[in-house]
Amino acid sequence: MTELPSMAVSDTDLDRIADAQGRMVVFVPENGKLDQSARRVNRLTRGALERCVESARFSKLKEGEALELAFPTGMLASAVHVIRLDRRANPEAERRAGAAIGGAAKGSQVLILAGGRQKLGHIFMGCLLRAYAFTDHKTGDDEGAGELTFMVSKPESCDADLRHAQAVADGVYFARDLVNEPANVLTTTEFATRLEALRAIGLRVEVLEEDRLRELGMETLLAVGQGSESPSKVVIMEWTGGGKEAPLALVGKGVVFDTGGISIKPAGGMEDMTMDMGGAGTVAGVMKALALRNAAANVVGIVGLVENMPDGRAQRPGDVVRSMKGDTVEVINTDAEGRLVLCDIMWYAQARFEPRGMIDLATLTGAIVVALGHENAGVFSNDEALANAFLEASSDEGEGAWRMPLGDGYARGLKSRVADVKNVGGRPGGAVTAAEFLHRFVKDETPWIHIDIAGVASLASASTLAPKGATGWGVRAIDRLVSERFEV
């Protein structure tokens, strides 16, 4: 498990600046005006900070970006990071500034001279998120997570923002760890065990085993997992911080590894399919964040944990299976397995919890990656108000999301010769026909959003707020949606 770096706020003490070990951070606004603590740094370094700020390189920085003064004279610090940031910057620039700090933090002590700045929430968040590193399987890499101290003029007024950022970042770390974990470690059983550990922070967690899933009629989910040695499971996480209101349901695809099954995938890049449980990872991350920040909302998270393997017992193309809803599905392609898992747990979520809204998250299709690349997740919805609220929340958090269409015309391609529906349409609009498959399992009265995160759950290169690998996409957007729309 990846630990958050330790982070604290303390009173400004200018006399600590000269002797502080490790790294130091100062913020300088666009006009180059130094605040009190920056002036101290400048004096100690005999004007080096001013020379840095007057340089052409500094003027070329984007807001939130940094220059590094290495081994400055007159101070014990090993480096001073000079971040260009106005007093009133936008959240994106503040997160970028935080990321510049978090990126430098790796295993070291960092003293951040934040002066009179009071709203540090986005800086804290950027800092925590960019400090993440998945090192569990790197032997000898025990640098530690780093220790950050923000020197401010009013520490008390930053406490709540710090605790909030830590709770949400903890949820993001949890999601990222799950997504980064290889499939030989994160089996369905291990996944369920890690979710059961969330009981310690006040979530109700229930694990449904195969016998129970069979009783419930979840045959399409079971069919996906039947070729694997790892037993299929459904895990239900409940947070009841709200009143008597019906919950919001979050539903996640948790395919711990997707070989494609009998419709096997090509070898090149197949290793990426360890992230095919990204939807379940995001759901788990949100549930953890809600519990840690003691959210005043009722939210239930349901994940379907299966492994899609080719085997003598695996399902075949052409098989017909009955979903919990009762609809029969012709399995044309065993690699279109995510929808077979989701349709059963979405039906279960509605049957058991009669939710006020339902959001499913899934690394569902390669087609969404073709459509939107790695910048945006695809958002499909039957409810304008809920969809718009989500898009606003994701935009506020800087998590890319783009609305995609639904429509009967797309659903028509799913007509089966032998069953009620088949699990794939043709290649055109593959992400939309997948969404239309799911739509069939949504009751008319349930406001619903389907989010296809295949392009955003894990990235091949580092982004502003994450190193390469898992992003934890959606934990912050959904947490924000909950706080803005579902809290009592």
Work out whether 338 is an interface residue with Zn ion (CB under 5 A): yes
Work out whether 416 is an interface residue with ligand BES (CB under 6 A): no
Work out whether 365 is an interface residue with ligand BES (CB under 6 A): yes
Tokens of 358: 């339902």
Per the residue annotation, which of 84, 117, 325, 339 is the catalytic one? 339
Q: How far apart are CA 176 and CA 459, in angstroms?
A: 11
Work out whether 307 is an interface residue with Mn ion (CB under 5 A): no
Q: How far apart are CA 52 and CA 452, in angstroms?
A: 45
265 in active site: yes
Instruction: Find the binding residues for ligand BES in span 203-262 (CB under 6 A).
Output: 258
Binding partner of 333, given Zn ion, ligand BES, Mn ion, none, CB within 5-8 angstroms per partner class: ligand BES
Q: What are phi and psi of 95, to 5 degrees?
A: -65, -35
3 state DSSP class of 225: helix
End-to-end CA distance of the chain: 32
The 8-class DSSP code of residue 356 comes to S
Q: How far apart are CA 155 and CA 149, in angstroms?
A: 11
Instruction: Find the binding residues for ligand BES in span 419-448 (CB under 6 A).
Output: 424, 430
Binding partner of 424, given Zn ion, ligand BES, Mn ion, none, CB within 5-8 angstroms per partner class: ligand BES
Work out whether 336 is an interface residue with ligand BES (CB under 6 A): yes
What is the DSSP secondary-structure string of 88-117?
S--HHHHHHHHHHHHHHHTTSEEEEEEET-
Work out whether 481 is an interface residue with ligand BES (CB under 6 A): no
Cβ nearer to ligand BES, comparing 176 with 480: 176
Q: What are phi and psi of 84, to 5 degrees?
A: -80, 115
CA distances from 482 to 239, 287, 371, 393 (A): 12, 11, 28, 9
Cβ-contact 366, 258 below 8 angstroms: no
Cβ nearer to ligand BES, comparing 129 with 367: 367
CB of 355 to Zn ion, least distance (A): 24
Instruction: Find the binding residues for Mn ion in span 243-262 (CB under 5 A).
Output: 258
Beta strands in 259-327 (DSSP E): 298-308, 320-322
Binding partner of 367, given ligand BES, Mn ion, Zn ion, none, CB within 5-8 angstroms per partner class: ligand BES
Closest C-alpha to 249, from 259, 236, 258: 236
- Which of 171, 338, 357, 429 forms a contact with ligand BES (CB under 6 A)? 338
Which residue is nearest to ligand BES, using beta carbons?
Answer: 366
The residues of the shown chain that bind Zn ion, judged by CB under 5 A, are 255, 258, 276, 338
The residues of the shown chain that bind ligand BES, judged by CB under 6 A, are 258, 276, 333, 335-338, 363-367, 369, 424, 430, 454
Q: Which residues are catalytic?
A: 265, 339
